[in-house]
Structure 1
Amino acid sequence: MKLSAAYRLAATILHGFDEYRTRFRAITRDASRRFRDAAWREAQQASAARINLYDDKVAATLGRLQRTFQAEVLTHCECWREAKAHYAELIDQRLDYELAETFFNSLFCSVFHHRHIRDDWMFVYSSRDSAPRHSGICLTRTRRVAGDWVGALHWALGEARLETPFDDLERDARLGADFLVGHLPAMLRDADDTEMELLESVFYRNKGAYLVGRLRGGAEQLPLALPIRHGDGYGEEAGASEGLHLDTVLIEPEEVSIIFSFTRAYFQVDTQVPGECVDFLQELMPDKPEGELYSAIGFYKHGKTEFFRGLNRQVAKREDRFVIAPGVRGMVMAVFVLPSYRTVFKIIKDRFDPAKEVTHQVVRDKYQLVKCHDRVGRMADTQEFSNFIARRDHFDPECLDHLLEVAPSTVSLRDDKVVIKHCYVERMMTPLNLYLEQCDAAETRAVLKDYGNAIKQLAAANIFPGDMLLKNFGVTRHGRVVFYDYDEICYLTECHFRRLPRSHAAGQGEPAEPWFSVGPDDIFPEEFGPFMVANPELRALFTELHPELFDPDYWQGLQRAIRDGKVIDVTPYRDKQRFVETAAPTH
């Protein structure tokens, strides 16, 4: 019996998806070995390779389709309608069916260049409802506490799927138990039915491994995260114990949410049923969008699918319209927002302001760099959209007029529709310059301290922001300062940090124009102050908090460390929470 072209089309796409999932899981499973060996640079390379894997496999599958099918078959929408039905049957019993649907969508969009987005021909909506999943696979492990918190922590750490022993498991169990006894609500701490439930899978990122779960009892629930690390200096930085240690215990919902932030690299976590894992995580963090959680565990393309579906639902409510983003308008990007969905849309302008010497392709390359790089909690993740279409009446007229004026090659009208050929989407934050306008003295000091910390942590990750103006940073709902303007970023090691030469003409004052040569990569930290913080009072406070940022020696020292191969990790929790400061050796 001859198979139809539509069936073969569906089968070919599913074969490409299987190749993607096989390689994705291989990279992810190897995270335990990389953590065991403290292969930190290899971990960074694996993270970038896994991000690039999706587009590579879509491109390979597209090539296979183009070689197998004639153009009139491949570009016939009705063939895709039939293929979608076959595909839905083929993936019906799969535990990752939602990811398979997104892969099908990617191939459809590649063939039709992101046009003809209809549920008839692709999975605009999932083939299944949102009923709870029941795969029968054991997702978690559970232990009744019964007042024995040391025993519970010993079980949590000792039975984790880690390939390296703890340096002092008894000490770590005691430290963790002491923390929980001292910080848990009495009803949860003392309840007879209190239990600890942890996901079987270990979450790996950078230099950390995380056990994630919850504490339940006395009709209360709190999330639980147990960050585990090697002894400081182990592996590529020789010197300390080779064993593991519990770094801290996190039980505050906001602290656990920050671990899964859109400003951090994706976790390497091997899970057979991604949807069930996401469902569990969302029970711990109900305020975090489902799409963000898919992205957090590495499925950023399906995270984009879920974002798009959520956006469609929100726009249909007609609670508000797209409006120009508050704050200073950008020189490279036109930015608009949908306030009720807390979403920012960025479009590259047709012409940049004269001060900007970049091209459209350079800007896109910078955004891809950020996607693949370790964002250390200080750069916002973005999703890239092509042929984004919305009704004209969903836009505020002033916003639409502005977009048509500054980006006519990207934004156009088609009847009652607005068509945007290309844009970036990210979570909404409050611009730092606007945040500072409404701060009291304590908040001002705290946010300026975090602004400097953000710059330092980006630099430690080999990222120089370039344009460090306040308007290019935002403040999240957790009060963290995050960088989001990427058109001038570069690797820190590409920069040439210099001290300002002093004029030999003593008493003559500084000349109006530089009297010394300046190369294209030369940077003078002593000049940062007025450019970063225009307000003299705020600048004085910032200089007091971060004087080293104005010293070329500081930047050159970071460069040397990076060139020497040192991988600097930034923990997603405060240093003062870490047990390493209080844990005295017991042997």
Structure 2
Amino acid sequence: MNVGEHDLARKTAFLIISNFDKSYRWFSRITRGAQQRFEQGLWKETQSASKERITIYEQSLSDAVAEIYQLTDVHKMEDTFWSEMKKVYTRLLEGHPQFELAETFYNSVIGRIFKHRKIDNCVMFVLPSRCYLPGQDRQKVIHSFDVTTTVRQMYESIFRVYRYNVPFEDYQRDLDNLETALRKRLTREQLASVTAVEILQPTFFRGKAAYIIGRICMPDETLPFVIPLRINDQHALFVDALLTDRKDLSVVFGFARSYFMADTQYPAELAAFLQELLPNKKHFELYMALGHYKHGKTVFYRNFLQHLDQSDDHFEAAPGIRGLVMMVFHLPSYGVVFKIIKDEFAESKKITREHVKDRYRLVKMSDRVGRMADTHEYVNFRLPLSRLSPELISELEATCASSLVFTEDELIIRHLYIERKMTPLNLFLEQETDENKIKNAINELGLCIKQIALANIFPGDMLHKNFGITRHGRVIFYDYDEICLMSERNFRSLPQSDDPYAIDTMSVAPNDVFPEQFEHFIVGKKPFKQLLKTLHGDIMSPDYWKNVQQITARGEVQNFTPYNPAMRFERK
């Protein structure tokens, strides 16, 4: 490489890191504003800020690529140029507090330039530039509190550090509640053995709640220590609960929740601390929960490659009824499903491929209220042919051939979505024999439909096969091709007829919905139908849906507690 090309590589690398730094400042500015929005109860602005923050990455990426094209004719540059540029960029990352996010931004630039056809560690960070050792920046992300004092004094010291520009509803009552809750959770001996209380410096804001997140360390165990905060209707602050169970915290960080706003300059250390609290969460899920969904995709891909090396099972069609729009498959030993838009849809689906993509974007930008699975979009995703069963290859070729490119040893999928694996609700109900679990699942199904609607999303196709159930027994919706905003449907009473299907012969507009028909379609077996009607019969009334339309039209932002309501403190 000559001197001119070396200088150009240096300029280009500096241009990319400068655009990343600018992007992260923008991301941080919106994130920092979360506290003021919480304090002032600006819930609509909170939703708008969440949407804006999601758009930052693509805008910053487009700006960086445009500047590179102005700087040089990229397609005339040899591989040595890109390899040299990566070396220069790697040196720029030394000591960078967000080095891992900057690597992903660099990968996105290269991917955009080469349309994701050049996945090579010589020119991209397929592997990270260095191994990050958790703990090296720990003191930059936590506050430690004195454990030699009384429990109440410890709480008082916490609230001297975590201060909000809004008065408490009843500060002494909240201290009493917190102290009582901790003493119920820990024995006197355990309290005496506590060696440290460490709390992450940023407050975690999401929706209409804020969370102080940390841990209690004892010689034999470490417990989560989470204080959820809310604002009441009189605009006063109150402590809602104390969470010390990993299961509760896992649900708070669930994959069907919107992203947190937690301001930090050290995201790797923040994610590492959370990983210690939630060892069953994948590292990429924690980055996504913090709003770094693009880097979460990078971490996922690395984790996925590692899993392929350590396993030998084959990809196969996912269990459950085949979808009319998506071809879904999975690797049995791995916790995600892969979804490809089919080439042709069934006659009943009057939609296009672009419409399906638009619906997935709508969910990404919406408050998913813990009821809609987060999905992650990939292009030119590569799978080893040796790991695909012949039956799956045949089904993929029959349903979505236009999305497939076969090489000698790989299948390249031009466009796909990846989503957390769940048990399809229809399969769960077919196989489950415990009546309490069945009742919980049906109740959860009704709650899921209602909460999605209050988030201003009409689920559309509400057949129970389009819902999944998690290991915590929570029902999540995951079929988005027929969703729309609540205002886009006209909920009508069913005209009187002896035939419940006679509506097909009557005058019906494309946006008409007849809730009284839902009982015939949502669940199949008669006992399940009756149970759903008993628990959530109101969703089969047009008046219910019209009322929800009025709520969403007023722009009322809902809050759905992401932990067991029994954990909530009484507030007299």
TM-score, normalised to structure 1's length? 0.94
In structure 1, the residue matched to 2:292 is 299
The answer to whether the 8 Å contact 2:170/2:238 transfers is yes
CA distance in 2, matches of 1:482, 1:304: 21
Q: Pairwise CA RMSD of aligned residues? A: 1.7
After superposition, residues 31-430 of structure 1 pair within 5 angstroms as: 31-73=34-76, 76-135=78-137, 137-146=139-148, 148-184=150-186, 187-188=189-190, 190-231=191-232, 233=233, 240=234, 242-430=235-423
Match of 1:236 in 2: none
Q: CA deviation at 1:187?
A: 4.5
Q: How does 1:393-542 map to 2 (within 5 A)?
A: 393-439=386-432, 440-502=434-496, 512=502, 514=504, 516-542=506-532
Contact in 1 for aligned 2:369/2:451 (Cα 8 Å):
yes
Alpha-carbon offset, residue 163 of structure 1: 2.5
The amino acid that maps onto 2:396 is: L
Change (3 A) 1:510 1:356: closer
Of 520, 534, 551, the residue aligned with 1:561 is 551
Partners of 1:135 and 1:197 in 2: how far apart?
14
1:108-143 deviations in Å (ceiling 9; x for gaps): 000000112010110000000243352375321122
Aligned residue type for 1:220: E
**SS of match in other structure, 1:262:** coil
Aligned partners of 2:519 and 2:529 also within 8 Å: yes
What SS does the aligned partner of 2:36 have?
Answer: helix
After superposition, give the CA deviation of every residue in 1:335-386 in whole Å (9 maximum; x if it has no partner). Answer: 0001212110000000011111111111111111111111100111111111
Residue type of the alignment partner of 1:200 = Q
Letter in 2 for 1:550: M
Q: Distance in 2 between matches of 1:459 and 1:501?
A: 24
The answer on whether the counterparts of 1:264 and 1:374 sit within 8 Å (CA) in structure 2 is yes
Q: Which amino acid aligns with 2:114?
A: F
Residue 263 (structure 1) shift: 0.6
- Distance in 2 between residues matched to 1:511 and 1:135, nearest whole Å: 64
User: Do the aligned residues in 2 keep the contact of 1:404 with 1:412 (CA within 8 Å)?
Assistant: no
Change (3 A) 1:574 1:132: closer
Secondary structure of the residue aligned to 2:493 is coil
Partner Cα separation in structure 1 for residue 305 and residue 65 of structure 2: 27
Q: CA deviation at 1:568?
A: 1.0
User: 1:573 aligns to what?
Assistant: 563
1:544 has 2:534 as partner: yes
Relative distance call for 1:185 and 1:221 in structure 2 (3 A) is farther
- Residue 533 to residue 6, structure 1, CA distance change in 2 (3 Å): same
Residue 502 of structure 1 deviates from its aligned partner by 2.3
- CA deviation digits over 1:219-238, x for unaligned, max 9? 2211111110101x2xxxxx
Provide the residue aligned with 1:237 in structure 2. none
Q: Shift in Å at residue 162 of structure 1?
A: 2.3
Amino acid at match of 1:21: Y
Instruction: For 2:129, give the aligned amino acid.
Output: S
Contact in 2 for aligned 1:499/1:552 (Cα 8 Å) = yes
8 A contact 1:95–1:135 mirrored in 2: no
| Cα drift, residue 430 of structure 1 | 0.4
Residue by residue over 1:5-56, the C-alpha shift from the partner in whole angstroms, topping out at 9 and shown as x without a partner, is: 1111111111111110110111111111111111100110100110011011
Contact 2:340–2:400, Cα closer than 8 Å, also in 1: yes
Structure 2 CA distance for partners of 1:346 and 1:445, relative to 1, 3 Å: same
Unaligned runs of 5+ in 2: none
Cα deviations across residues 179-208 of structure 1 (Å, max 9, x unaligned)? 1111235543x3243432211110000001
Q: Equivalents in 1 of 2:51, 2:566: separation in Å?
A: 31
Contact 1:350 1:407 in 2 (8 A): yes
Whichever residue aligns with residue 121 of structure 2, its letter is D
The 1-side partners of 2:69 and 2:139 are apart by 38
TM-superposed CA distance for 1:388, in Å, is: 0.8
Measure, in 1, the Cα distance between the counterparts of 2:435 and 2:500.
35
Conserved 8 A contact 1:146-1:192: no
Is the CA contact (8 Å cut-off) linking 1:151 and 1:173 kept in structure 2? Answer: no
Retained in 1: the 8 A contact 2:495–2:503?
no
What SS class does the counterpart of residue 562 from structure 1 fall into?
helix
CA distance in 1 between partners of 2:209 and 2:282 (Å) = 24
Deviations, residues 222-278 of structure 1 (Å, cap 9, x unaligned): 1111110101x2xxxxxx2x2200011111101001111111000011011000000
Task: State the secondary structure of the residue aligned to 2:213.
Answer: strand
1:510 CA drift (Å) = 6.8
The percent identity for this pair of structures is 40
SS of the equivalent of 1:423 reads: strand
Q: 1:348 to 1:87 in 2, by over 3 A?
A: same
Contact kept, 8 Å, 1:282 with 1:288, in 2: the verdict is yes
| 1:515 CA drift (Å) | 5.6
Say which SS state the counterpart of residue 422 (structure 1) adopts: strand
- For 1:509 and 1:487, how far apart are their aligned partners in 2? 29
* Deviation readout 1:503-541 (Å, 9 max, x if unpaired): 5xxxx7678455642111111100001110111111011
* 1:14 maps to 2:17: yes
Match of 1:26 in 2: 29
Q: Name the CA shift for 1:138/1:556 in 2 (closer, same or farther; >3 Å).
A: same
Cα distance between partner residues in 1 of 2:290 and 2:23: 16
SS in 1 for 2:140: coil
Gap change, CA 1:444 and 1:82, over 3 Å in 2: same
Q: Is the 8 A contact 2:440 2:473 kept in 1?
A: no
Aligned 8 A contact 1:154 1:170 in 2 = no
Question: What corresponds to 1:583 in structure 2?
Answer: 571
**Residue identity opposite 1:345 in structure 2:** F
Report if the CA contact (8 A) 1:187-1:218 is conserved: no
Note closer, same or farther for the CA distance 1:192–1:314 as it changes in structure 2 (3 Å cut): closer
The amino acid of 1:583's aligned partner reads R
Runs of 4+ deviating beyond 3 Å: 144-147, 192-195, 508-516
8 A contact 1:144–1:194 mirrored in 2: no
Q: Aligned partners of 2:373 and 2:65: how far apart in 1?
A: 30
Contact 1:187 1:217 (C-alpha < 8 Å) held by counterparts = no
